[in-house]
Amino acid sequence: MPASAFPDFETETGFKPAQTEFIDNITYDGTRPNAYLEQFPIGLKGEQVVE
């Protein structure tokens, strides 16, 4: 196979672009999964812990 048949490994991350097609209409960026979760009004955020 020619080299052109393969991704450009200098720039390819392996992640798809940010996705907005989810049922919640919140943008998901696979390189920043915690940022996605922090957009929800429920759940622990940042440094919060259960006491």
- The residues spanned by each domain of the chain are 14-40
Rounded to 10 degrees, what is the CA torsion of 40, 41, 46, 51?
A: -130
Residue 1 has a pLDDT of 87
Give the pLDDT of residue 22: 77
Task: Please tell me whether residue 19 adopts helix, strand or coil conformation.
Answer: strand
Asked whether 43 and 50 are in contact (CB, 8 A), the reply is no
Model confidence pLDDT, tens digit, residues 3-47: 888 878 788 888 888 877 778 888 888 888 888 888 888 888 888
